[in-house]
Structure 1
Amino acid sequence: MNKLPTIRQGETLFDKGRYFECHELLEEIWMKSEGKKKVLLQGLIQAAAGFHKLKQGSPEGAAKLFTRAAEKLEKNTVRDAVLLRFKKKVLRKIVPSLSRF
């Protein structure tokens, strides 16, 4: 039986700085999501991709992804406590990064 990844697993990868893996895992969930949850997940995916770009030495690419991610994350809310906690954590991390660019 193939078990779907969870948002908590994505959050753990993000916390460990494993941004590429976080992006890939969240993308699996995103493909099966709808509505506001899908948009929120897209923002988290873009944030993870942005931090991956930073690690690769591409601050311009990171800034673009952070801007898009922040727009999606700031506007959208869902009733999923785990997803909301992850969203707040990511926003706390990307907003200061945006001011550096």
Structure 2
Amino acid sequence: MAETETGGDIGGRDRDTEGRARNARPRDGLGRPLPYGSDGIERQPEGIVRSPDETIAEAQTLLDAGKPFHAHEVFEDAWKSGPGAERELWRGLAQIAVGLTHSARGNTTGGPRLLRRGAAAVTAWSERNRPHPYDLDLPGLADWARNLAGRVERTSAGVDAGAEAPRLRRG
């Protein structure tokens, strides 16, 4: 079996150096796999510990660039490495980003479902944690996600992820 960039090909699957499954295929801006050898968008490194402000700034930059899949990965790092009291917040933000990803891919069922799930998570978290940390506009973000979910369902059409990028912070 041929070696892959991520460690090895075991049973036809890309693996990292510790043998865990990892897809080494390049990805487009919405995280869809491209054929091996294609030019893709550089993936976000996994397991990066960032401050909350760094997380929000990096995710906003990716969202503005039409890369919500990559923003989701940044939020996922915060969800997995941050304090337990904030896990629901970061998980909800990740769900909103991946909901935008699926909506942009034309998934008019799963995209809205994830947008609403993320909106519910950040709403529940924000109701227990006032004032909102890191200058996040959690009520505005939840409203944005629910509104986009409804529009995607009504029109049965995908959206332009960059043009639809939400504002994470107030002001």
| TM-score of the two chains, using structure 2 as the length reference | 0.50
Q: 1:16: Cα distance to partner?
A: 2.6
Q: Indicate the residue corresponding to 1:46 in structure 2.
A: 95
Unaligned runs of 5+ in 2: 1-47, 154-171
More relative contact order in 1 or in 2 (CA 8 Å, sep 6+)?
1
CA contact (8 A) 2:119 2:143 kept: no
Q: Indicate the residue corresponding to 2:150 in structure 1.
A: 99
In 1, Cα distance between equivalents of 2:147 and 2:60: 19
Higher helix fraction: Structure 1 or Structure 2? 1
In 2, Cα distance between equivalents of 1:71 and 1:61: 15
CA RMSD of aligned residues (A): 2.2
In 1, Cα distance between equivalents of 2:93 and 2:85: 12
In 2, Cα distance between equivalents of 1:27 and 1:65: 14
Helix, strand or coil: the match of 2:71? helix
| TM-score of the two chains, using structure 1 as the length reference | 0.80
- Number of equivalences: 98
Identity across matched positions, percent: 24
Q: Indicate the residue corresponding to 1:34 in structure 2.
A: 83
Q: Per the alignment, do residues 94 and 61 of structure 1 end up closer, same or farther by CA in structure 2, a change over 3 Å counting? A: same
Paired residue type of 1:16 = A
Q: 1:93: Cα distance to partner?
A: 2.3
Alignment of 1:4 onto 2:84: no
In 2, Cα distance between equivalents of 1:38 and 1:90: 17
Paired residue type of 1:4 = V
